[in-house]
Amino acid sequence: MSHTLAMEWQKLRPFGKTSRTVALTIGLAVSVSAIVAAAMAANAKHMTVADRASFDSIGISLQGVNAAVLAIAAFGVLSMTREYSTGMISVTFLAQPRRLRVLAAKLLTHSTVAGIAGLGACLAAFVVGQVLLGTVGLDNGWSSAHLPGALAGGVVYLLLLCAWGVALGALLRTSAAAISWMASLLVVAPVIVQILPPSVVHRVERWLPSQIGSGAMSAHSDPHLFTPWAGLLVLGGYVVLTLVAAGWRMARTDP
């Protein structure tokens, strides 16, 4: 297994390209968080005392993670689909004929990168968000007891989405199919769900990956959503199911 890990790690090198992924993830998180926080700060003068009391300073600061997740998921997807589309996967299987080990090594190495990028993205987005919200005194995130949980939730959310990307890429093998599915689940599904009658929305919404992510990064609990860690567990379940399907197809169907 150590050789397989070394192979996948070496494929990520030279780190120029990989560090661009990390930079893109952090950049997306910071810029979207900054826009949302700035918009909130601009509206602060219209807020009532009650509004201020219930203001989710952490959740708003981490809004950018919802954009960063697209970069991380694509990073995971492309790790597999680029090998299948170029045919390089057969060279990989020549070097390591045990295909499930290749999948495991991909998962581990890419999750490591996603973990670093995720931590950077969550921290940077939070700091930038708090600074901007601080201009109107809404930077109470620093002192919140929810802070460590929300940051950890954000990192785990990004990690899981990277793993899900690897699994979807291994299952579908083409970039177009895997990215379309990923984007549909993360971006399109939440929009479609909103069209449904409210009673249905409340039952369906909690199962959406994007809602699970937002829930994990929020200081507030929504009775219609899973609790942060239960939600991430559900998301982990999706990842495991997809991985099982991907592993089955990888072992059974030749490249």
Partner 1 sequence: MIEVRQLTKRYGPQTVVNDLSFGVQPGRVTGFLGPNGSGKTTTARMILGLTEPDEGSATVNGRTYRELRRPICEIGALINAGAVMPSKTAIDHLRWLAAANGINRRRADEALGMVGLEAVAGRKVGGFSLGMKQRLGIAAALIGDPPVLIFDEPINGLDPEGIRWIRQFMQELATQGRTVFVSSHLMSEMALTASELVVIGQGRLIAAESVEAFTARADSSVRLRSPQLEEIVVALAIEGASLWRNGDALEIVGFSIEQIGALCARVGAIVYELSPQRASLEDAFMQLTATVCEYVPTSRGAAA
Name the residues that contact partner 1, by CB under 8 A: 3-4, 6-7, 9-11, 13-14, 17, 82-83, 86-98, 254-255
Q: Which is nearer to partner 1, 86 or 227 (CB)?
A: 86
Cα Rg, the chain, nearest whole Å: 19
CA distance 219 to 231: 14
Picking from 74, 169, 158, 60, the residue whose alpha carbon sits closest to that of residue 117 is: 158
CB closer to partner 1, 87 vs 198: 87
Least distance to partner 1 from the beta carbon of 254, Å? Answer: 5
Task: Considering the complex, state which of residue 97 and residue 198 has its C-beta at the smaller distance from partner 1.
Answer: 97
**188: three-class secondary structure by DSSP:** helix
Contacts of 65 (CB under 8 A, 6+ apart): 29, 33, 121, 122, 125, 154, 157, 158, 213, 217
Q: Rounded to an integer, what distance in angstroms lies between the CA atom of residue 245 and that of residue 204?
A: 24
SS3 253: coil
- Of 251, 58, 72, 49, the closest CA to residue 170 belongs to 251
Question: Closer to partner 1 at the Cβ: 55 or 75?
Answer: 75
Q: Nearer Cβ to partner 1, position 161 or 250?
A: 250
Q: How far is the CB of 87 from partner 1 (least distance, A)?
A: 4
How many whole angstroms separate alpha carbon 183 and alpha carbon 169? 13
- CB of 211 within 8 A of CB of 225? yes
Q: Which residues contact 56 (CB under 8 A, 6 or more apart)?
A: 218, 219, 220
* CB of 102 vs partner 1, minimal distance in Å: 9
Q: How far is the CB of 221 from partner 1 (least distance, A)?
A: 45
Nearer to partner 1, 48 or 254 (CB): 254
Residue 37 or 74: the one with the smaller Cβ distance to partner 1 is: 74
* Angle in degrees, 0-180, between the axes of helices 65-86 and 88-95, rounded to the nearest 10: 80
DSSP 187: I
